[in-house]
Amino acid sequence: MVLGLGIGGFVDGIVAHQILGWHHMLSGWHPPTTPENLHVNMVGDGFFHLLCLLLVLAGVALLNRAPRLSGGQLWGGVLVGWGVFNLVEGVVDHLVLGVHHVRHGPDQLAYDIGFLVLGAVLVVVGSLVARAGSRVGR
């Protein structure tokens, strides 16, 4: 699950922050409309990616110490972790703190809710995959 938290963060940061350019980590507080604010957002994105890297490394370390997992248990756990990332980040950063939204603009609430729905779906699917994998591993 820890590995999934990091991977989910990387997917969010790479796709939404960098490829699509929908938001940056701090764009709700510091709109990237000036060079100074763009720099603040770039640094915020960097620290966010550093945290994701630390989560992935922690997940790999935990896997190295864990008893053997089936593929279903591993990938189910990754999906659950990714979903938990979406749910926590979506509620805390998007809805409570307003640090940023998935996509700023007139439909930002719809994008934020879609992000939460995706997180919930990932948790459910990941749990089912992990459960099926644990039955196979027995």
The predicted-structure confidence for 35-74, as pLDDT tens digits, reads as follows: 999 999 999 999 999 999 999 999 999 999 988 888 899 9
The predicted-structure confidence for 82-130, as pLDDT tens digits, reads as follows: 999 999 999 999 999 999 999 999 999 999 999 999 999 999 999 999 9
Cα maximum dimension of the chain? 58
Q: In terms of residue numbers, what domain contains 102?
A: 2-137
**Domain count within the chain:** 1
| Predicted TM-score of the model (pTM) | 0.89
Taking Cα atoms as reference points, which of 20, 105, 7, 16 lies closest to residue 52? 7
